[in-house]
């Protein structure tokens, strides 16, 4: 059966359901039975396989109780990103490559209804007065929505899927993102409460890496996570407080920003603060938290290199406090951040750890950076396949004071 034929049957069944029943009064299991009986009537004169019947039944049910065709797409574990450019164009990312699907939404109204379901479940709003929103699905997937007239293609939805099981260091080892030696070094750094910043471009795996590193946090600590939309999957911490921002309502009030949450978290006796991603003026608050006794804090940010991350931090701090001199900002960054881990998505679509560097302070107008590990590409790498691994540089690790204070005598 063609995709077009399936879509026509789904539309017909939905029309019959809405015409005959008040769906709000029907239990979920009863609704499934009704859909099956209507489907039998609809296809009594043609042959339809059992798999196709199940698919059509699920599509009709999902369009009423769930997120329509999105549900069937989300069930594919190989899909890591869903990109909807209006009702007639759906693209997905699988294994690093992008494909266009044959499936489409019935019309713009159906797509906007699904958007309102997604946004409403997370307690957020999106409308013409507030046409852009970041939110999440119940399974933790990150969602960005842009509505017309801002989006000229129609309603645009981008969904970043996350694995059902949190990323672990063992999985990073299997993927070749780090080596066993680096995994051990990261464990020492996290346990010794070094302030760690994870940088990288879009899709480089920053949040995934942060999830993996968080497993090294001692289980008896009080940890507070702060995010635009909650997507971190931190496990094993009993004393865990999770907070996320809130957009302004239709009248323009009620917004709660990352800056607000960081300031509030300082009064909540945190032993570590984890900010999912720093994008703007909240960088200043994050640095101040790191500098006022909240060692072991973790965060991520968009950048193309370690140096670029430092430069972006300067710019973000200026957004939060324009009056600060650049020298004071650099001193603040150099004092607060201990380690920067830079990730990248390589030409073969694999995600690798490219560099691990320590920050040694501020001198002669510059922040001193000491690369400890760098990714070395093998000679047999090709355009299609990049091979190589993180290699220890000849630079000694100098900022070992926190290691010694934690009773760790190993040399990194």
Distance CA 234, CA 168 (A): 10
Tell me whether residue 411 is in a domain. Answer: no
Q: Please, which pLDDT band fits residue 250 given cuts at 50, 70 and 90?
A: low
Which of 49, 65, 81 terminates a domain? The answer is 65
Which of 128, 161, 194 terminates a domain? The answer is 161
- Could you write out the DSSP letters of every residue in 54-97? HHHHHHHHHHHHS-THHHHHHT-TTEEEEEEESTT-EEEEETTE
The average pLDDT across 199-227 equals 92
Do both 150 and 177 map to the same domain?
Answer: no
In percent, the amount of the chain with pLDDT more than 70 equals 99
Do both 224 and 361 map to the same domain?
Answer: yes
Do both 135 and 246 map to the same domain?
Answer: no
Tell me whether residue 266 is in a domain. Answer: yes
Number of domains the chain is built from = 3
Distance CA 288, CA 390 (A): 31
Q: Please, which pLDDT band fits residue 140 given cuts at 50, 70 and 90?
A: confident
Tell me whether residue 410 is in a domain. Answer: no
> Which pLDDT does position 212 carry in this prediction?
92
Do both 126 and 200 map to the same domain?
Answer: no
Q: Please, which pLDDT band fits residue 362 given cuts at 50, 70 and 90?
A: very high
Helix (H, G, I), strand (E, B) or coil at 390: strand
> Which pLDDT does position 199 carry in this prediction?
97
Distance CA 314, CA 149 (A): 34
Do both 118 and 149 map to the same domain?
Answer: yes
On average, the pLDDT of the chain sits at 89
Supply the CATH number for residue 255's domain.
3.40.50.300
Residue 271 pLDDT greater than 80, yes or no: yes
> Which pLDDT does position 236 carry in this prediction?
87
CB burial class (10 A; 0-12, 13-18, 19+) of residue 325? Answer: exposed
What are the angstrom distances between the C-alpha of 24 and each of 65, 166, 406? 10, 35, 59
> Which pLDDT does position 247 carry in this prediction?
76
Do both 3 and 131 map to the same domain?
Answer: no
Do both 126 and 232 map to the same domain?
Answer: no
The average pLDDT across 130-144 equals 86
Tell me whether residue 26 is in a domain. Answer: yes
Can you give the residue range of the structural domain that contains 37? Answer: 1-65
Lowest mean pLDDT among 197-206, 284-293, 394-403: 284-293
The average pLDDT across 79-84 equals 94
Helix (H, G, I), strand (E, B) or coil at 341: strand
Q: Are 253 and 246 in contact (CB under 8 A)?
A: no
Tell me whether residue 412 is in a domain. Answer: no
Which of 100, 131, 161 terminates a domain? The answer is 161
> Which pLDDT does position 5 carry in this prediction?
84
pLDDT digits (tens, 9 = 90+) for 45-76: 888 888 888 888 888 888 787 787 888 888 88
Q: Are 266 and 289 in contact (CB under 8 A)?
A: yes
For residue 187, what are the contacts with CB-CB under 8 A and spacing of at least 6?
169, 216
Do both 186 and 296 map to the same domain?
Answer: yes
Tell me whether residue 341 is in a domain. Answer: yes
Tell me whether residue 53 is in a domain. Answer: yes
Do both 256 and 294 map to the same domain?
Answer: yes
pLDDT digits (tens, 9 = 90+) for 95-105: 778 999 988 88
Do both 243 and 367 map to the same domain?
Answer: yes
In percent, the amount of the chain with pLDDT more than 90 equals 49
pLDDT digits (tens, 9 = 90+) for 309-349: 999 999 999 987 878 899 999 999 999 999 999 999 988 88
Q: Please, which pLDDT band fits residue 93 given cuts at 50, 70 and 90?
A: very high
pTM: 0.78
Do both 129 and 260 map to the same domain?
Answer: no
Tell me whether residue 347 is in a domain. Answer: yes
pLDDT digits (tens, 9 = 90+) for 21-44: 887 788 888 888 999 889 988 888
Do both 189 and 258 map to the same domain?
Answer: yes
């Amino acid at each position: 059966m063609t995709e077009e034929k399936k879509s026509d049957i789904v539309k017909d069944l939905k029309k019959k359901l809405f015409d005959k029943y008040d769906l709000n009064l029907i239990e979920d299991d009863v609704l499934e039975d009704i859909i099956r009986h209507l489907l039998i009537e609809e296809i009594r004169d043609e042959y339809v396989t059992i798999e196709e019947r199940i698919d059509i039944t699920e599509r009709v049910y999902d369009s009423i109780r769930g997120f329509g065709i999105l549900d069937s797409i989300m069930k594919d574990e190989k899909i890591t990103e869903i990109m909807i450019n209006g009702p007639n164009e759906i693209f997905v990312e699988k294994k690093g490559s992008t494909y266009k699907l044959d499936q489409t939404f019935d019309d713009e109204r159906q797509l906007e209804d699904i958007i309102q379901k997604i946004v409403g479940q997370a307690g957020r709003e999106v409308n013409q007065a507030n046409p852009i929103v970041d939110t999440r699905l119940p399974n933790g997937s990150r969602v960005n929505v842009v509505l017309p007239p801002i989006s000229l293609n129609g309603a645009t939805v981008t969904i970043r899927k996350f694995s059902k099981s949190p990323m672990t260091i063992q999985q990073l080892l299997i993927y070749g993102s780090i080596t066993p030696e680096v995994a051990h070094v990261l464990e020492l750094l996290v346990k010794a409460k070094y302030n760690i910043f994870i940088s990288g471009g879009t899709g480089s795996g920053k949040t995934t890496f942060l999830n993996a590193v968080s497993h090294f946090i001692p289980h008896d600590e009080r940890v507070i996570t702060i995010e635009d939309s909650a997507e971190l999957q931190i496990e094993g911490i009993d004393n865990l407080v999770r907070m996320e921002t809130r957009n302004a309502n239709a009248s323009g009030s009620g917004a709660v920003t990352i800056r607000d949450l960081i300031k509030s978290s300082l009064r909540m006796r945190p032993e570590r603060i984890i900010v999912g991603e720093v994008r703007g003026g909240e960088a200043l608050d994050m640095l101040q938290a790191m500098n006022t006794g909240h060692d072991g804090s973790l965060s991520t940010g968009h950048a193309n290199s370690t140096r670029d991350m430092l430069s972006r931090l300067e710019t973000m701090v200026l957004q939060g406090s324009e009056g600060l001199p650049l020298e004071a900002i650099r001193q603040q960054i150099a004092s607060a951040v201990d380690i920067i881990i830079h990730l990248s998505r390589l030409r073969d679509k694999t995600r690798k750890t490219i560099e691990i560097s320590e920050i040694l302070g501020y001198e002669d107008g510059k922040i001193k950076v000491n690369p400890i590990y760098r990714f070395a590409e093998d000679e047999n790498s090709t355009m299609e396949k990049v091979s190589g691994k993180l290699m220890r540089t000849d630079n000694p690790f100098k900022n070992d004071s926190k290691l010694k204070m934690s009773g760790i005598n190993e040399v990194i």
